[in-house]
A = this chain, B = another copy of it.
Amino acid sequence: MTELSRYERDLKNAGLRITQPRRIILQILEQSGDHPDATEIFQRAAKMDARISLATVYRTMKVLEETGAVERHAFQGGPARFEQADREHHDHLIDIETGAVVEFTSPRIEELQRTIAEELGYEIVDHRLELYGRKIR
């Protein structure tokens, strides 16, 4: 009777169980417009079900990363931050003063990356492009 979200379907297809913690964490990710870290997800989850543990948040993030539902970003210094992965690819500009994350895309840069890797004899499996900047006022 419950209609499954896209993510729940992915879990099912991967032969994984749709558990209460996963359901809640998934729901949080869907609602989050930001890039929360594990602790933040844990806190938000606790509001919906106090018995979820931080370890489960970490485990779930790993699982969701594997099913392709979320992307993990390890920005300078701090803890890993997560976001849904269903949207199209983009890179990040991190405001070094506020920590705010601005997303952007550049097909030209993507293109150049591929060319460069190829020249070096590599195929790109993943990449990270992060700009750390200060707002010009």
A residues with CB within 8 A of B: 74, 76-77, 93, 95-96, 102, 104, 106, 108-109, 112-113, 116-118, 120-136
Contact = CB atoms under 8 A, between A and B. Distances in A.
Contacts of A122: 93, 95, 102, 131, 133-136
A38 B76 CA distance: 17
Interface of A, helix, strand, loop or mixed by DSSP? strand
Contacts of A133: 117, 120, 122-125
B117 A108 contact: no
Contacts of A104: 116, 120
A9 B80 CA distance: 38
A129 B112 CA distance: 12
